[in-house]
Amino acid sequence: MTDPPFDLAARLGALLFVSGEPVERAELINHLGCNETELDAALATLRERGPGLGLVLIEHSGAYQLATAPSLAELVEAFLGLDRPARLSAAALETLAIVAYRQPVTRAEIEAIRGVDSSAALQTLIARGLVEPVGRLPTVGQPIQYGTTVQFLQAFGLASLEELPDLPPEISEFLAEEGSQ
Amino acid sequence: MTDPPFDLAARLGALLFVSGEPVERAELINHLGCNETELDAALATLRERGPGLGLVLIEHSGAYQLATAPSLAELVEAFLGLDRPARLSAAALETLAIVAYRQPVTRAEIEAIRGVDSSAALQTLIARGLVEPVGRLPTVGQPIQYGTTVQFLQAFGLASLEELPDLPPEISEFLAEEGSQ
Amino acid sequence: MPVDIRSTRLADCLITIEGFSGPLDLLLRLVEERRLPVTELSLVEVTDQFLAHLASLEDAPLELVADFTVVAARLIALKARALLPRPAEPEAPGEPEPDDLIRQLKLYQAFRDAAQELRLRELRGRRAYVRPAISPPSPARVKVIARDPASLLTALRRWHRRVEPRPVTLRLPPAISLRAMARRLLAGLRGGARTFRELVGRKADRRELAAGFLALLVLIRRGAVQAEQEVPFGEIMVTPRARPWREATADD
């Protein structure tokens, strides 16, 4: 087999291909022997090349993973013989939306927005691997903070959290105000 | 995620990406809904696009698989920690012994013999180059059969499989019976 | 406002109460937009009508119930807030309380819309899939610490010890049929009244005791014997009855 010289994006592609899990930036930089800027350029190139193989690049809190393009889901599911997972309840979906936009967020904060107890919905999301504890608030009682997982991105066909549609400006302002208190 | 239309080569790429094992032509044709000629064209296109992600298309006995390019082996092995000589775990050694004496053997047969899930052990052995797919069982689902490699013989200082130590009759019989069905 | 995907199920559930007639989800929206006074809402009536709607369905989908729970909980929360006396706070003239509620509702509405966006994505089923396992690198380069072939044999010996089925001694006592047991009881009674224990045999195991007790019940029912037990768990005295009886069988 003749081997063309592989550029940084190709070498990056090979590493992400063999890793079953998202790979941290630092680890990529370490193994590829490049700097932050070069890594970003390589990631951008990979994002362009991926679709040629039906692949997309997923970013989750500074780690990267290759996955099949969301619009090929039906083909892939038929090939792997997978069933669609059961749909989430309205309560779980509402809770998930709040976690996705407000993360890291505590249960009390979720309940303040929804006006109802949300522990069951939160448990469902954790059991489905869509939400996970990501830290603790450094206040009295140190409540657990929750965030979305890379499985959340995969399940909803998002390349990163940035692909979530914006909240109405009025709401964003209000939240920003509240968050800075 | 923006969605370019995915051509046949891209859809082929996605299937080979999610499959951990080589995929037969017939299965590809079936899932992609194309004919032999179209498949060949798509395979050729994939061969061109693969290197952009550091990947090559491997063909053995009419089955196809994506793999990292051989000249990136050093990078990939360092990344996976395979460059350091490793001692095999007890589970891996047991699995290897079963493959060595029972080959060709499917994963299901190995698991029936060992009585425990063996996919991780098998993956380790494949990653270490001690075991490889050697064919398919002509039954429903056509499960892949595994056998030992030349590297296996080298690592154990054997000139051929015939040099494997003889098993005591009771073990030999038991091994032959277990998992066959 | 985006298409309300979530409410399609609740939109089928029509509610008619004083001052409102329409789908359940619209009710929630009107309350939230404060176009319908929540304090005048009869939650009992809403619930009753929802349950009637549920009963009219062939098989009630769980999602519908879940959706209703969300709406009901929301209505209760809103109503509770409206009805309960607020904690006595110094009047803040510049900040009327309703503003806060409206703000709260807007916030909730925003996330409900966001949830609908997620539902749309879920419905389109656009999931991404990752690779299950690492692919084999070129094996020639892989290093494994050299091992003695005897280690394979050792591994298999260990495996054999672990999985080899141990010989199991099965001691199955001969099963006694109800019919045979009935015969045994009757034979024992030829000499007159005996205790149940004597009849079954002092060495009877639990299975025999159970069979014996069943046989005794059969014989009592047939009028072949009488039985008395003076105290609970005490001895059962069995007496044969004088009148002629046919051979007891256990199979009728």
Instruction: Quote the pLDDT of residue C121.
Output: 86
Rounded CA separation A76/B31 (Å): 9
Residue A174 shares a structural domain with residue A97: yes
CATH number for the domain including B114?
A: 1.10.10.10
Closest CA to C118 of A121, A120, A163, A129: A163
Closest CA to C20 of C6, C7, C30: C30
List CB contacts of A82: < 8 A, sequence separation 6 or more: A76
Q: Is B78 contained in some domain? A: no
- What residues make up the domain containing A52? 8-73
CA distance A111 to chain B (A): 31
Q: Is the peptide bond before C232 cis (omega within 30 degrees of 0)?
A: no
Residue A170 shares a structural domain with residue A102: yes
Residue B51 shares a structural domain with residue B131: no
CATH 1.10.10.580 fits C178-248, yes or no: yes
Residue A53 shares a structural domain with residue A104: no
Interchain CB contact of B83 with C (< 8 Å): yes
Instruction: Quote the pLDDT of residue C248.
Output: 44
pLDDT band at C34 (very low <50, low <70, confident <90, very high): low
CA distance B94 to chain C (A): 5
Q: Is A129 contained in some domain? A: yes
| Cβ-based contacts under 8 A for chains A and C | 129
Q: Are C142 and A85 in contact (CB under 8 A)?
A: no
Instruction: Quote the pLDDT of residue C249.
Output: 45
Token representation of residue A130: 């869509």
Does residue B55 carry a pLDDT above 90?
yes
Task: Write down the ipTM of this complex.
Answer: 0.71
- What mean pLDDT is predicted for residues B161-177? 85
Q: Is A15 contained in some domain? A: yes
Question: Measuring CA to CA, how many Å separate C115 from each of A90, A100, A133, A167?
Answer: 8, 10, 20, 11
Residue B69 shares a structural domain with residue B40: yes
The pairing of beta strand C20-23 with beta strand B55-60: unpaired
Q: What is the pLDDT of residues C88-116, one digit of tens each?
A: 444 444 434 555 666 777 788 888 888 88
Higher pLDDT, B144 or C242: B144
Q: Which of B21-30, C125-134, C173-182 has the highest mean pLDDT?
A: B21-30
Q: Is B151 contained in some domain? A: yes
Q: Is A85 contained in some domain? A: no
Residue A66 shares a structural domain with residue A123: no
Residue B60 shares a structural domain with residue B20: yes
- Lowest-pLDDT range of B1-5, B39-43, B119-123: B1-5
Q: Is B170 contained in some domain? A: yes
Closest CA to A118 of C101, C24, C73, C75: C73
Does residue B48 carry a pLDDT above 90?
yes
| Cβ-based contacts under 8 A for chains B and C | 133
Instruction: Quote the pLDDT of residue C93.
Output: 44
Instruction: Quote the pLDDT of residue A148.
Output: 95
State how many domains chain A has: 2
- The domain segmentation of chain C, as residue ranges, is 5-83+98-123, 178-248
Instruction: Quote the pLDDT of residue C201.
Output: 81
Residue A26 shares a structural domain with residue A54: yes
Q: Which of B38, B73, B108 is the last residue of a domain?
A: B73
Beta-carbon separation of A116 and C103 below 8 A: no
Q: What is the pLDDT of residues A142-165, one digit of tens each?
A: 899 999 999 899 999 999 999 998
CA distance B134 to chain C (A): 14
Mean pLDDT (chain C) is 72
Q: What is the pLDDT of residues B101-138, one digit of tens each?
A: 998 998 888 988 888 878 878 888 888 888 988 887 77
Higher pLDDT, C169 or C152: C152
Q: B56 contacts in A (CB within 8 Å)?
A: 1
pLDDT band at C247 (very low <50, low <70, confident <90, very high): very low
Q: Give the E-state strand segments of chain C in sequence order.
A: 14-17, 20-23, 194-195, 225-229, 236-240
Nearest residue on chain C to A98, alpha-carbon basis: C111
Beta-carbon separation of A55 and B15 below 8 A: no
DSSP secondary structure string for all residues of A15-44: HHHH-SS-EEHHHHHHHHT--HHHHHHHHH
Residue B67 shares a structural domain with residue B106: no
Higher pLDDT, A50 or C142: A50
Rounded CA separation B46/B56 (Å): 8
pTM over 0.90? The answer is: no
Residue A113 shares a structural domain with residue A175: yes
B64 secondary structure, DSSP code:
E
- What mean pLDDT is predicted for residues C123-127? 84
Q: Mean pLDDT per segment of 10 residues, for chain A of length 181 residues?
A: 76 90 92 95 96 95 93 90 83 94 92 86 90 88 91 91 87 72 46
Rounded CA separation B11/A75 (Å): 8
Q: Is B172 contained in some domain? A: yes
Q: Which of B101-105, C120-124, C127-131 has the highest mean pLDDT?
A: B101-105
Q: Is B82 contained in some domain? A: no
Instruction: Quote the pLDDT of residue A122.
Output: 94
- What mean pLDDT is predicted for residues C157-170? 71
Q: In 3-state terms, what secondary structure has residue C236?
A: strand
Residue B99 shares a structural domain with residue B67: no
Residue B45 shares a structural domain with residue B107: no
Higher pLDDT, C17 or A102: A102
Q: Which of A100-114, C103-117, C173-187, C224-238 has the highest mean pLDDT?
A: A100-114
